[in-house]
Chain A
Amino acid sequence: MNADDWLRTLTAELHQRRVAADAARHVVAEAATHLREGGGDPWVVFGPPQQYAGAVVESIGTAPGPRPGQVRLHAEGITKRYGRRTVLRDATLTVRAGQIAAVVGANGCGKSTFLRICAGLMSPDAGAVTVSGRLGYCPQSGGTADFLLADEHFVLVGAGQGVARGPARRAGRAAARQLGWEAGGDVQARHLSGGTRQKLNLTMSTLSAPDVLLLDEPYQGFDQGTYVNFWDQLSRLRDAGAAIVVVTHLLNQLDRVDIVLDLTPAQVTGWQAPTVQGGHR
């Protein structure tokens, strides 16, 4: 990653952590000046952009988030059993417009199941979900058609909302570009690399400009640049008023989100039910 990339990543990281725009601009400009005067590798001089952004946030704090909008997703008391095994017990989550929620927990603790229940693809044994507005869902894998081109995926998804072919293709390509990918062309989905295919998967879920976006570990196979673009796009969707839920097992991103739902089951001596905790701030 050269200096420009590092600076760009820093900008994105500060934006995601809701650092005030002016302050963020100053921080990045000052770092740029420092690097120009002294040279050196930004990774050595400042450290990883995520780390530096974190240090900046500790020093100057964040802009107060815009007042969270109305509740877009409310899941209450979600319980799911597979035979004798209880996968989810009383899971609860409320996400408002303009918020990002992260769902974390060990493997097999029901993160994907919870998301599928919220998307209405699976029925729980108990509990209810209320969704306000359009729903978008990105499964962890699959979700694309092996033998279709990227454009054809866009047309297919677009037609569901009554969007004509041309606009659907344009919207799809624009969304793909934001993830750093040129989607036009005649490559079938099965010939795309794993990371690119996942970009297609993700693009399909954001195409209809959903009000509630449910993402199940959507960044599998993403390289560093795409990963940055992905969080950038999420921040932009958040700022435009979407309520976003991301299932993740990477715990080092939790200072960019507003809410964390930890589905790790209670200890044997347990007293801790799955909780909704505040995120950073």
Chain B
Amino acid sequence: MNRLVVVAEMTLRELLRRRGVLLLLLLMPLTFYLIRRDAYLGQSVRSLLLGVGWAVSTAALFATTAARELEPRLRLAGYRPHHLYLGRVLGLWTVGLVISVPFFLLPMIDGADLRYGGLAAALLCSVAVAAPFGMLIGALLPREMEGTLLLLTVVTVQMLIDPAGSGAKLTPFWSTREIATWAVDHTDQGYLSRGVLHGLVVTALLVVGVAAVVSVRLRRRRHLRHLPVG
């Protein structure tokens, strides 16, 4: 338990010291929101949510890449793989939750008429999916440049795709869009339940994906036999 907490804490400390990433986390969603502010409310809120998702994913990507070299040593120091990826995702979720607060208040200050419960749910969903998503990309692509480009591609597709289309449910942040639609357009309950379900399933799948990649990379190798000191 303590090992999990220590990893989460160090993830947090690292992120807080990276000014660039912090700026990104705060500015990007704000910028997205402001750009679409004059347009229809749904657009601006959806942009805000996408911005939050993208920012947290990028932070997760950077955190994972930075920690890559350290992980084998931590393994030798006594950590199991699950301490490392669960600790990191907890730290990232904490960061995501913290930055969600001002962005929850933003439309409120702007006097937007929407279901704020839905906004909260959508923000939570964004953060929940974004953290393991960024971690998975970081685990699969060793360099930040390639990872960032992949993230950019995914976010762009997310933005442009028709949510009712057949492939739309395959995009990671589809859940956020559905819940946002429920919040902004005051549609029926179905949107909310579909969105939450999709969000939970995608989050779980991504976490399992990260678990698999990390566990394989840090696995106990068969050629090495460890004996206790005799």
In the bound complex, residues from chain B placing their C-beta under 8 Å from that of A144 are 70
A254: shortest Cβ distance to chain B, in Å?
27
8 Å CB interface, A140-191 against B:
142-148, 152, 155-157, 159-162, 188
Q: Is B230 in the interface zone, CB < 8 Å from A? A: yes
* Contacts across chains A and B counted by CB atoms under 8 Å: 99
Q: Is B165 in the interface zone, CB < 8 Å from A? A: no
Beyond A143-B73, A146-B66, is A159–B227 a contact (Cβ under 8 Å)? Answer: no
| Complex interface bits, B30-53 against A, C-beta within 8 A gives 1, otherwise 0 | 000000000000000000000000
How far, in angstroms, from A226 to B9 measured CA to CA in the complex?
Answer: 32
Instruction: Kindly state the interface size class of chain B when it binds its partner.
Output: 20 to 34
A: residues with CB less than 8 A from B are 70, 117-124, 127-137, 139, 142-148, 152, 155-157, 159-162, 188, 204-205, 207-208, 211
Interface centre among B17, B76, B225, B229 (most CB of A within 10 A): B76
Q: Does the CB pair B228–A133 fall under 8 Å?
A: yes
How far, in angstroms, from A50 to B18 measured CA to CA in the complex?
Answer: 45
Q: Does the CB pair A143–B70 fall under 8 Å?
A: yes
In the bound complex, residues from chain B placing their C-beta under 8 Å from that of A129 are 223-225
How far, in angstroms, from A124 to B222 measured CA to CA in the complex?
Answer: 10
Beyond A156-B10, A161-B78, A162-B78, is A132–B73 a contact (Cβ under 8 Å)? Answer: no
Given contacts A120-B220, A129-B223, 20 further A-B contacts (CB under 8 A): A120-B224, A123-B223, A128-B223, A128-B225, A131-B226, A132-B227, A133-B227, A143-B69, A143-B70, A145-B10, A146-B14, A148-B13, A156-B77, A157-B73, A157-B74, A159-B2, A159-B3, A160-B3, A160-B77, A188-B17
Q: Does the CB pair A152–B223 fall under 8 Å?
A: no
- Considering the complex, give the chain B residue whose CB is closest to the CB of A241: B229
Q: Does the CB pair B10–A137 fall under 8 Å?
A: no
Q: Does the CB pair A127–B73 fall under 8 Å?
A: no
Q: Is B116 in the interface zone, CB < 8 Å from A? A: no
Q: Does the CB pair B230–A127 fall under 8 Å?
A: no
A113: shortest Cβ distance to chain B, in Å?
13
How far, in angstroms, from A134 to B70 measured CA to CA in the complex?
Answer: 18
- Considering the complex, give the chain A residue whose CB is closest to the CB of B14: A147
How far, in angstroms, from A117 to B230 measured CA to CA in the complex?
Answer: 23
B: residues with CB less than 8 A from A are 2-3, 6-7, 10, 13-14, 17-18, 66-67, 69-70, 72-74, 76-79, 220-230
Q: Which 4 A-B pairs have the closest CB atoms?
A: A160-B78, A160-B77, A142-B69, A133-B229
Q: Does the CB pair B229–A132 fall under 8 Å?
A: yes
The contact of A147 among B2, B13, B223, by CB within 8 Å, is: B13
How far, in angstroms, from A130 to B76 measured CA to CA in the complex?
Answer: 15
- Considering the complex, give the chain B residue whose CB is closest to the CB of A125: B223
Q: Does the CB pair B6–A139 fall under 8 Å?
A: no
Q: Does the CB pair A123–B221 fall under 8 Å?
A: yes
How far, in angstroms, from A207 to B74 measured CA to CA in the complex?
Answer: 12
In the bound complex, residues from chain A placing their C-beta under 8 Å from that of B78 are 160-162, 208
How far, in angstroms, from A142 to B221 measured CA to CA in the complex?
Answer: 22
In the bound complex, residues from chain B placing their C-beta under 8 Å from that of A162 are 2, 78
In the bound complex, residues from chain B placing their C-beta under 8 Å from that of A132 are 227-230
In the bound complex, residues from chain A placing their C-beta under 8 Å from that of B222 are 123
A241: shortest Cβ distance to chain B, in Å?
9
In the bound complex, residues from chain A placing their C-beta under 8 Å from that of B69 are 139, 142-143
- Considering the complex, give the chain A residue whose CB is closest to the CB of B80: A160
Q: Does the CB pair A120–B221 fall under 8 Å?
A: yes
